[in-house]
Structure 1
Amino acid sequence: MNRPPTGRLSAQDLTLAYEDRTIVEGLDLEIPDGQVTVVVGPNACGKSTLLRALGRLLKPRRGAVLLDGTELARVPGRQIARTIGVLPQSPTPPDGITVADLVARGRQPHQKWWQQWSEADERAVTEALEHTDTADLADRPVDELSGGQRQRVWIAMALAQDTDLLLLDEPTTYLDIAHQVEVLDLVRRLNHERGRTVVAVLHDLNQAARYGDHLVAMKAGRIVAQGPPRQIVTAELVQDVFGLSAVVVPDPVTGGPLVVPAGAWRPAPVAEDRLGRAPSPRP
């Protein structure tokens, strides 16, 4: 792919592998600026591996990830940390660290040797805690929190980093449905109100279609389709990518695509007696 990328973050002829096992091969991708891009696909298709490479957590076997036209491997780490925030899957906090201290670590790329903490740092941490509804947890050790609380704290740290690009690998993991919606609404607000470019890996195709501007559907390490959800989410795509027979109907709230599995399990009909009554259950 020789033409210059249109977005700040892109991949060209990207091949990713773990030792001798190739996960992603020959992939080209441009992340649209100022949009929420959601990567979907079945388990082990390369979604998280791709996200790790976009955040320079994994070195490509071949090809390159580009940031503002420069190969990511050639960009200083501190510059990347000021531009790209990454929330990986299942991160591990240092032993005994409090919520406030963990979120404050998101400010490290912005600090200078002569000024370790500033009013801007304090403001960013406070806003991140408030946005993720974790301010009341600030003094608690992270390792004492529930899974859902921990996830919101990690997102708060990524928000405190205050980067233009935010990469989220399954940010709704461990969260109940109410907090899933809360987190995805927060991602949307960051995009609309602050112009953040977001790339997220999600398992829920309907959430991806509702919150994403741009969908990237992957299968076996390759991109099968990409584009606006209304254009690419079809019954044929769901069958091809997930092996699931489904019907795609308009979402009653957004009007976008809503995937409804077809051929769902149904209980066998209950036999009735001659008076039309179902038999009583056995004690």
Structure 2
Amino acid sequence: MSLTDDPDLQPVLFGLFLSMSLVTVIGNLLIILAVSSDSHLHTPMYFFLSILSFVDICFISTTAPKMIVDIQTQSGVISYVGCLTQMSLYAIFVCMDDMILTVMAYDRFVAICHPLQYQVIMNSRLCGFLTLVSFLLSLLDSQLHNLMILQITSFKDVEIPSFFCDPSQLLNLSCTDTSSDNIVRYFLAAVYGLFPFSGIIFSYYKIISSILRIPSTGGKYKAFSTCGSHLAVVCLFFGTGVGVYLSSAASHSPRKGAVASVMYTVVTPMLNPFIYSLRNRDIKNALRRLHSRIF
């Protein structure tokens, strides 16, 4: 389903989403280049930041390019295999975003609450292990959604009330009973949403408790500034996700739900590099050094 039926808005949407996609890819690529090329940033925090940037590039690449092509060609047709592929990749990368943000919260917890043991605990082996586990859990979630969709029976040539193959929308197209599938879907949403969010909340509870025990105001500001950008991204990620869910549940218009999904799938990955580059002095310095080396 297109975001609007107004033909005069199609060129505007094409230019808007093309620009947003390019900004997202370029911005996140710059962060990856800055982290990889600057030895000062070869730390666990920036390693996970580069992973998050890579995931954001993949995340927006699963939905935005197809939407841009559909706007240009004025055709929203997608094959069955293409739909399953898009749904699988979407599930993987949205879960990876969730998991990496949780791992980054744990990294900040260790850095602030156990600073003397930080280098020992957050070694390269643990960082690689946490990244691998995040990917495997995301792959598991994707495959479970695939199994649910493959088992349902639906009519051919149906319209998906979204601009991409959203797993929840695909289940609603079934012409058989999907009550058990919905239970599994809600269970997965609770496991992959509630538990990571609870881990982030617990980490920041410990972080804030440790910061409040720092006697000097400058020390408190320095400690909190190291996790300010991450906290902003967490609020943006989970805030837009909950907002999309609530707006979709409250609105009876599928097109309004699709427009709300744009915030989650396009706007959030675009804003992440701006949040980290504008609020982080190390990233800004690394980008300046990268600019000077190139030009």
TM-score by length of 1: 0.26
Between the two structures, name the one with larger relative contact order (CA 8 Å, sep ≥ 6): 2
Higher helix share: 2
Q: Which has the larger radius of gyration?
A: 1
TM-score by length of 2: 0.25
